[in-house]
Homo-oligomer: A and B are copies of this chain.
Amino acid sequence: MGSIFGKNIKISVFGESHGPAVGVVIDGFPSGFDIDFEIISKEMGRRKPTTGVYSTGRNEADEVEILSGINDGKTTGTPVAAIIRNTDCKSRDYDELEYLLRPGHADLSGLIRYKGYNDKRGSGHFSGRLTAPVVFAGAIAAQILNVYDIIIGSHIDSIYDAHDLRFDGTQITKDQLLMLRSMDIPVNDRSCREVYLQIIEGARNNSDSVGGIVETAIIGIPAGIGSPIFDNVEAKLSSILFSIPAVKGVEFGDGFGITRLYGSQANDSFYVKDGNIYTKTNHNGGINGGITNGMPVVFRTAVKPTSSIAKEQDTVDIKEGKNAKLKVKGRHDACIVPRAVPVIDAAAAVAVLDILMEHYGLEGFNKGMKYNGK
């Protein structure tokens, strides 16, 4: 009731931050796909906290153990289960919080939702650590998509009040997206990196935190994918994106900005070139009527500032039933946006593969040969 996503590719996420393990079961992958484990490691690494300026010092080994669904390096077609053990859990850092609700966190809502029985250590099931299994799932989904030349990549559109160059929605290249996936602070305008890091450093020095916006592009996705009304591409993507902790907004194409255009500006005019139809602009983010139109799918995701801050905040002590003060100790990212990027890429990959399976089916995706005695 909460932890399963998808229709054709179903992912079921489980775990608590300070329990034995977090993990995922992925049901529906076509069989016979060669898994590149290095890509998985690389993607897990992008999400992993580093000792870098913007990130927590928690040493998350993030060693994935695959329990099923992959044999001889290939998908078997049966559910892929993978777990990541929780090893470095200094729960003492959290213990003193037990009765002090952390502002911005799910402490109160979770308490009521679970009648006080949820595992509260390190945010438990609400922990950002639950995104690690999503990255694992997405790293495989992305590899399958890549076979069909569908590439997903993101840059950090803004941190606090500083902005990167946006994508030009009519011309985004595979090289550009792959480059972004290789950067620790992925930006289109490289000068932004330093600015972003300074803002994050400033927030950290002030015992505070900052958020930002991630802009993502999906190229190579065929036209005609998705369905009108409820199973449209925007609904599907937004649904999985809002499942990422700290996400508070999702917009496609010009998004909220499109409301400040006239219809004659917002409409993407069509033109024909070499027998193919394109749009001159891409204010609609590659989607019309919930269905892809063949242009890059572009969306932005708003990630709020890290809720855990060392600064003193007002709160309530639920044991005493009184107002209280709180400083959240422990290791916290002053900005989680860079770590949200691979999660967003992964979530998008899962959602897109799910939608594509609807159109092409297991057979369409199955590149396996007839059994040949190996």
Contacts and interface: CB of A to CB of B under 8 A. Distances in A.
A258 B248 contact: yes
A87 B50 CA distance: 36
Interface string A1-44: 11111011110111110011111010110011000000000000
Interface residues of A, number: 168
Given A115-B369, A283-B304, 14 more contacts: A1-B28, A2-B78, A8-B358, A14-B81, A31-B118, A32-B116, A67-B83, A78-B119, A109-B288, A208-B262, A249-B258, A258-B302, A261-B305, A263-B305
A30 to B, nearest CB: 8
B368 A270 contact: no
A229 B116 contact: no
B12 A79 contact: yes
A212 B262 CA distance: 10
Nearest to A101: B270
Given A232-B242, A255-B249, A277-B316, A260 B117 contact: no
A129 to B, nearest CB: 11
Contacts of A291: 106, 109-110, 112-113
Given A243-B230, A361-B360, A364-B364, A79 B113 contact: no
A234 interface: yes
A45 interface: no
A11 to B, nearest CB: 8
A117 B304 contact: no
Interface string A155-167: 0001111000000
A208 to B, nearest CB: 5
A285 interface: yes
A188 interface: no
Contacts of A251: 248-251, 256, 302
Interface string A228-250: 11111011101110110101111
A259 interface: yes
A180 interface: no
A309 B266 CA distance: 11
A227 interface: yes
A76 B125 contact: yes
A244 B23 CA distance: 25
A278 to B, nearest CB: 9
B113 A208 contact: no
A284 B72 CA distance: 31
Contact of A313 (B10, B264, B366): B264
A156 to B, nearest CB: 11
A272 B368 contact: no
A247 B323 CA distance: 41
A39 to B, nearest CB: 19
Contacts of A97: none
Contacts of A248: 234, 251-256, 258, 284-285
